[in-house]
Amino acid sequence: MGYSDPWIAGAIISGAYFGDKVSPLSDTTVIASSTAGVDLFEHIRYLMFTTIPAIVIALIVFFIVGMTTGTEQSPDASAMLSALGSTFNLSPWTLVIPAITMILIGMRVPTLKVLLIASAMGAAGIFIFQSHEGMDIAALATSLWSGAALSTGNPALDNLVTTGGILGMMPTVYLVLSAMLFGSVMIGSGMLTRLTDAFTSRLRRRTSIVSATVTSGLVMNCCTADQYLSLIITGNMYRSLYRRNGLEPRLLSRAMEDSISVTSVLIPWNSCGLTQATVLGVGTLTYLPCCVFNILTPLMSILVARLGFKIPVQPRNAAADCQVRVARNSAI
Q: What is the pTM of this model?
A: 0.76
Structure confidence at residue 324 (pLDDT): 43
Instruction: Please count the residues of the chain.
Output: 332
Cα angle 157, 174, 162; round to 5: 10
DSSP state of 270: S
Question: Would you tell me how many other CB atoms lie within 10 Å of the CB of residue 13?
Answer: 24
pLDDT band at 329 (very low <50, low <70, confident <90, very high): very low
292 falls within a domain: yes
Q: Is 44 exposed, middle or buried (0-12, 13-18, 19+ CB in 10 A)?
A: buried
Residue 93 lies in a domain: no
Q: Which of 123, 75, 117 is nearest to 99 (CA)?
A: 117
Report CA torsion sign: 293, 299, 303, 308: positive
What is the domain range of residue 310? 1-70+130-332
Q: Which of 115-129, 163-177, 217-231 has the lowest mean pLDDT?
A: 163-177
Q: What span, in angstroms and rounded, lies between the C-alpha atoms of 197 and 324?
A: 9
Question: Which DSSP category does 163 fall into?
Answer: B
Confidence of residue 328 (pLDDT cuts 50, 70, 90): very low
Do residues 126 and 135 touch, judged by C-beta distance below 8 A? Answer: yes
E runs forming strands in 89-196: none
Domain count, the chain: 1
Q: Is residue 117 part of a domain?
A: no
For residue 313, the model assigns a pLDDT of 66
CA–CA dist 177, 82 (Å, integer): 43
- Residue 309 covered by a domain: yes
User: 332 pLDDT band (50/70/90 cuts)?
Assistant: very low
Query: Which residues are CB-neighbours of 259 under 8 A, at least 6 positions away?
Result: 213, 214, 215, 216, 217, 218, 297, 298, 301
Mean pLDDT, to the nearest integer, of 290-299? 96
Q: How far apart are CA 108 and CA 106, in angstroms?
A: 5
Instruction: Report, as an integer, the average pLDDT of 121-148.
Output: 83
Residue 26 contacts residue 20 (beta carbons within 8 Å): yes
- The pLDDT assigned to 318 comes to 46
Query: Which carries the bigger pLDDT value, residue 284 or residue 181?
Result: 284
* 102 lies in some domain: no
CA–CA gap between residue 105 and residue 90 (Å, rounded): 25
Cα 297–chain centre separation: 13
> Is residue 30, in this structure, part of any structural domain at all?
yes
The pLDDT, as a whole number, for residue 104 is 92
Q: How far is CA 60 from CA 266, 275, 295, 299, in A?
A: 21, 27, 15, 17
Residue 76 lies in a domain: no
CB of 217 closer than 8 Å to CB of 230: yes
- Which pairs with CB-CB distance under 8 Å and at least 24 residues apart come from 17-23? 17/261, 17/262, 17/265, 17/293, 17/294, 18/51, 18/54, 18/55, 18/58, 18/293, 20/261, 21/47, 21/51, 21/257, 21/261, 21/262, 21/297, 22/47, 22/48, 22/51
Q: How far apart are CA 36 and CA 49, in angstroms?
A: 18
User: How far lies 55's CA from each of 168, 193, 260, 296, in Å?
Assistant: 31, 36, 17, 8
For all residues of the chain together, what is the average pLDDT? 84
* pLDDT tens profile 49-105: 999 999 999 999 999 998 888 776 766 778 888 888 888 888 898 899 999 999 998
Residue 330 has a pLDDT of 43
Q: Pick the more confident residue, 25 or 296.
A: 296
Q: How far, rounded to the nearest angstrom, does the alpha carbon of residue 17 sit from its chain's CA centroid?
A: 6
- For residue 326, what pLDDT band results from cuts at 50, 70 and 90? very low
Q: Does 312 map to a domain?
A: yes
